[in-house]
């Protein structure tokens, strides 16, 4: 149980950058990946903007055979496999004809193959069940992404999909961390993915939690911590990490992006002010405190927080919870940012994509800017200094980053990443 766990590979398919180099440049430069989508308007959406990764047919063929592509009607499976394959390659690992019993994956998803499922329903209604095809089960089962990724890479250890709403990616990383820590695997690919499109996003539009004020200016629509925030912007994509023991990484002279010190997941039980859609603040604070304690650091050691921060009325509540959990405020509070200002809320993929961004800050020594936050929310500004909310890129050494996610069902996850010190 004294194993140290490090990150040796990263992969990302994001609305503002597909591939690690493109994503890193976009994050540093504050590049938005939010665009207007006419299809949403035609379907009567109030919010007609969203974040969809730019994955061309040509790019797909750099990853998959024509036969494999026939299986990828699910955008979530496509994104997840691309991110996982990139992370595997980035870690310096190869694909062989043999089963790798020391490596596995925990790769989360919220849904799988929504478009394929819709197509299947119509064919059943038309009594054309024999035309459903041989891949409909694999594309619509919840574990489709981990099953496909495990097959592509030949993974022989645990191959699992977790699903816990917006904390899915954060939880997957911690689950893989625990498995290696327990000596049950040598390395794991961990991360999460999310489909895109109206059949996934429609429920959130109906809930009236999406912004409808920025259809004419999509890049300004996602406004975490802003006084003019008016709801979140939906996004999609996938993020992935290869994690392994420090001993394993050193043995093969791998690049080490950061160390995972620890973390915590919990639930508020939908009690007190907690509900299906709102967090129980006591549980959030417990999650943060326990993540810090489990990582054997002190609150003051944290250089930056990559928050959940979705651009809703709950942004202040989240920062208030961070302040109380860490017992820090004003100028003592760490820098805090939200990747959602650039990519929107990528739902089940958010924790993984945002964790990749967190680790990049450590590896490349920068703190990325919060775009669309010229007008900081007054409640937030009364609690922490405005310069703790960077509006421009800050280039400085970053030692420890805390990453948190809070999701539907009153569930919470928090991770602590640190620059490796041997």
Q: Is 305 part of a structural domain of the chain?
A: yes
In this predicted structure, what is the pLDDT of residue 199? 87
Domain span including residue 383:
262-418
Q: Mean pLDDT across the stretch 97-113?
A: 94
Regarding whether 266 and 247 lie in a shared domain, the answer is no
Count the neighbouring beta carbons within 10 Å of the beta carbon of residue 327: 10
Of 312, 283, 290, which is closest to residue 380 (Cα–Cα)?
312
Q: Are residues 102 and 131 in the same domain?
A: yes
Instruction: Please state the rounded mean pLDDT for residues 375-383.
Output: 97
Q: What is the CATH number of the domain that holds 345?
A: 3.40.47.10
Look-up: residue for tokens 């919220």? Answer: 110
- For 26-68, the pLDDT digits (tens) are 999 999 999 999 999 999 999 999 999 999 999 999 999 988 8
Q: Does one domain contain both 303 and 232?
A: no
Q: Give me the pLDDT at residue 123, please.
A: 59
Q: What is the DSSP letter of 207?
A: H
Question: With 80 as the cut, is the pLDDT of residue 81 above it?
Answer: yes
3-state helix, strand, coil in the chain (%, to 5): 40, 20, 40
- 311 and 247, same domain (yes or no): no
Q: SS3 sequence, 16-37? A: CEECHHHHHHHHHHCCCCEEEC
**How would residue 197 be classed by pLDDT, with cut points 50, 70 and 90?**
confident
* Mean model confidence pLDDT for the chain: 94
User: With bands split at pLDDT 50, 70 and 90, how would you rate the model's confidence at 70?
Assistant: confident
- β-strand partners of 235: 51
CA distances from 247 to 3, 53, 83, 102 (A): 8, 35, 25, 14
Q: Name the pLDDT band for 249 (thresholds 50, 70, 90).
A: very high
Tens of pLDDT, residue by residue over 312-337, are 999 999 999 999 999 999 999 999 99
Model confidence at 98: pLDDT above 70: yes
Question: Can you tell me the distance from the alpha carbon of 87 to that of 106, in angstroms, rounded to the nearest whole number?
Answer: 13
Domain identity same for 223 and 361: no
pLDDT band at 122 (very low <50, low <70, confident <90, very high): low
Same domain, 222 and 269: no
Percent of the chain with pLDDT over 70: 95
**Is residue 394 in some structural domain?**
yes
> How many structural domains does the chain have?
2
* Residue 174 sits in the same domain as residue 322: no
Between these two residues, 22 and 132, which has the higher pLDDT value? 22
Is residue 256 in some structural domain? Answer: no
* Domain final residue pick, 251, 272, 304: 251
Q: Taking CA 4 as the corner, what is the angle to CA 361 and CA 328, rounded to the nearest 5 degrees?
A: 50
What is the pLDDT, as a whole number, of residue 291? 98
Q: What mean pLDDT do residues 387-402 have?
A: 98
Inform me whether the pLDDT recorded for 254 exceeds 90: yes
Query: Model confidence at 125, in pLDDT bands (50, 70, 90)?
Result: low
Residue 1 confidence (pLDDT): 53
Instruction: Please tell me the predicted confidence (pLDDT) of residue 227.
Output: 98
Band of the pLDDT at 120, cuts 50, 70, 90? low
Domain co-membership, 44 together with 191: yes
pLDDT given for residue 138 in this prediction: 72
Same domain, 112 and 41: yes
At which of 217, 251, 285 does a domain end?
A: 251
Cross-strand pairs, 266: 412
Alpha helices in 261-366 (DSSP H): 281-294, 314-326, 340-343, 350-364
Same domain, 306 and 356: yes
List the single range of 178-192, 197-211, 350-364, 389-403 with lowest mean pLDDT: 197-211
Note whether 16 and 52 are same-domain residues.
Answer: yes
What pLDDT shows up at residue 114?
A: 73
Supply the pLDDT for residue 117: 67
Distances (CA, A) of 185 to 9, 88, 158, 176: 16, 16, 8, 9
| Structure confidence at residue 116 as a pLDDT band (50, 70, 90) | low
Whether residues 213 and 272 fall in one domain: no
- Give pLDDT tens digits for 159-171: 999 999 999 999 9
* ∠ Cα 300 305 307 (to 5°): 140
Is the pLDDT at 292 greater than 60? The verdict is yes
Please report the pLDDT score of residue 69 as a whole number. Answer: 85
Q: 3-class DSSP state for residue 198?
A: helix
Q: Which residue do the tokens 């640190």 mark?
A: 418
Q: Assess if residue 141 is contained within a domain.
A: yes
* pLDDT reported for residue 137: 72
Last residue of a domain, one of 251, 276, 301: 251
Q: Is the pLDDT of residue 242 over 80?
A: yes
Q: Give CA separation, 15 vs 131, 212, 248, 293, in Å.
A: 33, 19, 33, 34
């Amino acid at each position: 149980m004294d194993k140290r766990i490090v990150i040796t590979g990263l992969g990302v398919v994001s609305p503002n950058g597909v591939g690690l180099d493109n994503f890193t440049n976009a994050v540093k430069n504050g590049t938005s990946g939010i665009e207007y989508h006419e299809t949403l308007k035609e379907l009567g959406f109030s919010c007609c903007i969203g974040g969809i990764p730019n994955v061309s047919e040509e790019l797909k063929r750099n990853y998959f055979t024509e036969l494999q592509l026939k299986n990828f009607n699910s955008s979530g499976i496509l994104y997840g496999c691309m991110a996982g394959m990139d992370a595997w390659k980035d870690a310096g690992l190869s694909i062989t004809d043999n089963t790798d019993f020391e490596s596995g994956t925990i790769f989360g998803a919220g849904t799988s193959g929504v478009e394929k499922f819709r197509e299947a329903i119509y064919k059943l209604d038309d009594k054309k069940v024999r035309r459903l095809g041989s891949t409909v089960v694999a594309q619509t089962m919840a574990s489709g992404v981990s099953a496909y990724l495990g097959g592509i890479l030949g993974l022989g250890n645990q191959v699992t999909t977790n699903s816990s709403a917006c904390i899915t990616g954060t939880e997957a990383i911690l689950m893989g961390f625990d498995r290696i820590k327990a000596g049950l695997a040598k390395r794991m690919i961990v991360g999460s993915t999310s489909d895109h499109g109206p059949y996934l996003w429609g429920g959130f539009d109906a809930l009236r939690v999406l912004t409808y004020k920025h259809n004419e200016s999509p890049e300004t629509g996602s406004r975490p911590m802003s006084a003019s925030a008016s709801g979140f912007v939906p996004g999609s994509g996938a993020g992935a990490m290869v994690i392994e023991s420090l001993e394993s990484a050193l043995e093969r002279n791998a690049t080490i992006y950061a160390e995972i010190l620890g973390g915590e997941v919990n639930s508020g039980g939908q009690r007190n002010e907690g509900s299906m859609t709102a967090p129980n603040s006591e549980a959030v604070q417990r999650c943060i405190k326990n993540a810090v304690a489990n990582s054997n650091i002190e609150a003051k050691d944290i250089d930056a927080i990559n928050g959940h921060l979705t651009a809703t009325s709950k942004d202040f509540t989240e920062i208030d919870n961070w302040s109380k959990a860490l017992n820090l405020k004003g100028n003592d509070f760490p820098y805090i940012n939200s990747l959602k200002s650039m990519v929107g809320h990528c739902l089940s993929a958010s924790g993984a994509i945002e964790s990749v961004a967190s680790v990049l800050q450590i590896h490349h020594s920068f703190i990325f800017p919060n775009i669309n936050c010229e007008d900081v929310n007054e409640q937030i500004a009364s609690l922490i200094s405005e310069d703790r909310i960077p509006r421009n890129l800050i280039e400085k050494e970053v030692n420890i980053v805390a990453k948190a996610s809070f999701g539907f069902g009153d569930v919470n996850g928090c991770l602590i990443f640190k620059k490796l010190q041997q």
